[in-house]
Structure 1
Amino acid sequence: MSASDVVGTPAPLVDLLIDRESHRADIVLRRAERRNALTRTMARDFVRHLDVVDGDDEVKVVVIRGEGEHLSSGWDPDDAWQQYQDAPGGAVRKHPSQRARLIALDDYWWGPDGLYSRLLHCRKVTITQAVGDCFETGLYLTLCSDLVVASPDARFACPRWQNVGADGDLSLLIATVGLKRAKEMMYGGRPWSASDAHRYGLVDKLSIDPATATAEFAGMCASIMRDGIVTEKYAVFASLAKMGVTHSFAAATVVSASLSNIHFQPDEYNFLKDARDNGTDAALARSRSHS
């Protein structure tokens, strides 16, 4: 049962549903009116849910999905600036300090207790159901999951990279799709279609009925003995450590903090401001016409 099933309790923006009979838990983003754009509070709630399922021996599989037509349109631009201001040292001056930016990015996103690292190191099998926009945070939810089922309308991208630079981890992207494809996403700015993502290795299965396909994957994984799942997961963790992903996540904190503090010149297009004011799709279209 989720918190939203309790009379008088507001529906959470990140919901946890557990079905112990099927050994499955669902973490659901419930912000459809904003295309499931994530805030730091949602990231923190997501991590709390991961803590719950990691400690529940009846759960073998975690499905990650979004309510409505999109997995996630990315990081909520309204919340991005505020998280820096609210971090220690963030309100000292008009522009948040570098330490505030580093602390916020580490705490909520890239650090050991941040969303991406916790999802990547979840001890259960994780399956993302990718539909619609899978941008920025949506892309990283995809990359950090074990398996991905996508609908034909799914799109994968980090649109702001073309204008502000790659401000996140690249190690998982390169390991998943290869260096040349990663560069295509970094420099090209064009969202990958579901078929592209499937061909590149980012998506495991395409389905016009992703919920059913995800359920089939979940049922298959839930049939594996618990010791087998955890043994396999720790083997993956060891491989990730050998690949240097932990170091890359630490570097992502530094790079993201630095790129959040760039200064646009008069002839340069400010994608971050346009995305905040007019939405990602409009900003992406304008960035193409500007270039």
Structure 2
Amino acid sequence: MVDPRIKVDFDGHLAAITVARPERLNALDIDMLKALSAACDEVEANAEIRVAILTGEGKAFSAGGDIKAWGGMTPNEFGHAWVRFGHRVFERLATLRMPLIAAINGHALGGGLELAIAADIRIAERHVKIGLPETGLGMVPGWSGTQRLVRRAGAQVVRRMVLGGEVFSADEAAALGLVDHVVDTGQALAAARDCAARIAARGPAALEVAKLMIATANGEDNGTAVEALGSILVAKTGDLREGLAAFSEKRATKFAGEW
């Protein structure tokens, strides 16, 4: 079922995914998480897409998980239907085959920061505030804030947010490596589109493979990345073509070791 609060737009080689629930600061609920996962499938299925942008509608990027969506859950529901499912969705975003740019047009707190950190490149507007306030509610970050965020920005930065409750400005976040570029208010999406144009001009196969190689070097799901790289390589060989032909023709294979 399509959820209008998650929008997907295509423009040439560019896809834009927009979290569109401005009246709730783009806070996510279960249906939106499902739609976000479906959006990833839709973007990846479009062979023309070489780069994607993730942003929020209105004055926020995302306030994270909607407390009304999970506040009444049992511990079991919270752990599985909410935290683990959300983690899988964010992992889906992080492992898109094409580079993903987060245009952080407003505050990114809690799950909103975890959403942004799934992107390969983050561009934040100067007024933005960034933090992980979960421990103030008696909970912990559950959508990769203590995992992917540590790998990408460093453990000490995460300690300051999670343990110390620090909230950073965009400029502070850039100095700490939480975001890559800071732009004036209202300019994040335009800057992301400029960045996307530069990326889209590069070799799409090289982009996809390089993204996997960097993820492997950073310790991000090494097994998946290695299998993906190996599968892509083998799929382009003459051996696979011969294997498929032999299967179809019901004959013995004649592998030539053609790369």
Distance in 1 separating the partners of 2:192 and 2:65: 25
Residue in 1 aligned with 2:106?
132
One-letter identity of the residue aligned with 1:105: W
1:162 maps to which of 124, 131, 136 = 136
Shift of 1:235: 1.1
Residue in 1 aligned with 2:8?
16
1:102 aligned to 2:76? no
1:75 aligned to 2:65? yes
Distance in 1 separating the partners of 2:197 and 2:55: 16
Q: Is the 8 A contact 2:54 2:103 kept in 1?
A: yes
One-letter identity of the residue aligned with 1:13: R
Aligned length in residues: 218
Structure 2 CA distance for partners of 1:129 and 1:178, relative to 1, 3 Å: same
Q: Is the 8 A contact 2:33 2:89 kept in 1?
A: yes
Q: TM-score, normalised by structure 1?
A: 0.70
Residue in 1 aligned with 2:30?
40
1:118 maps to which of 86, 89, 92 = 92
Coordinate RMSD, CA, aligned = 2.0
Q: Is the 8 A contact 2:55 2:189 kept in 1?
A: no
What SS does the corresponding residue of 1:38 show, helix, strand or coil? coil
Shift of 1:201: 0.6
Q: Is the 8 A contact 2:37 2:92 kept in 1?
A: yes
Shift of 1:225: 1.4
2:157 maps to which of 181, 185, 197 = 181
Shift of 1:68: 0.6
Shift of 1:97: 5.2
One-letter identity of the residue aligned with 2:86: W
Superposition misfits of 4+ residues, deviation over 3 angstroms: 242-246
1:213 maps to which of 172, 191, 211 = 191
Distance in 2 separating the partners of 1:66 and 1:55: 22
What SS does the corresponding residue of 1:188 show, helix, strand or coil? coil
Shift of 1:244: 5.9
Q: Which has the larger radius of gyration?
A: 2
Distance in 1 separating the partners of 2:5 and 2:139: 29
Structure 2 CA distance for partners of 1:165 and 1:80, relative to 1, 3 Å: closer
One-letter identity of the residue aligned with 2:8: L
Q: Is the 8 A contact 2:70 2:82 kept in 1?
A: no
What SS does the corresponding residue of 1:71 show, helix, strand or coil? strand
Structure 2 CA distance for partners of 1:52 and 1:193, relative to 1, 3 Å: same
Residue in 1 aligned with 2:166?
190
Distance in 1 separating the partners of 2:100 and 2:75: 36
Query: Which consecutive unaligned segments of at least 5 residues does structure 2 have?
Result: 224-259
What SS does the corresponding residue of 1:62 show, helix, strand or coil? strand
One-letter identity of the residue aligned with 1:77: I
Identity of aligned pairs, percent?
A: 23
1:131-155 alpha-carbon deviations (Å, 9 max, x no partner): 2210112101111100011000111
Q: Is the 8 A contact 1:155 1:191 kept in 2?
A: yes
Q: Is the 8 A contact 2:216 2:222 kept in 1?
A: no
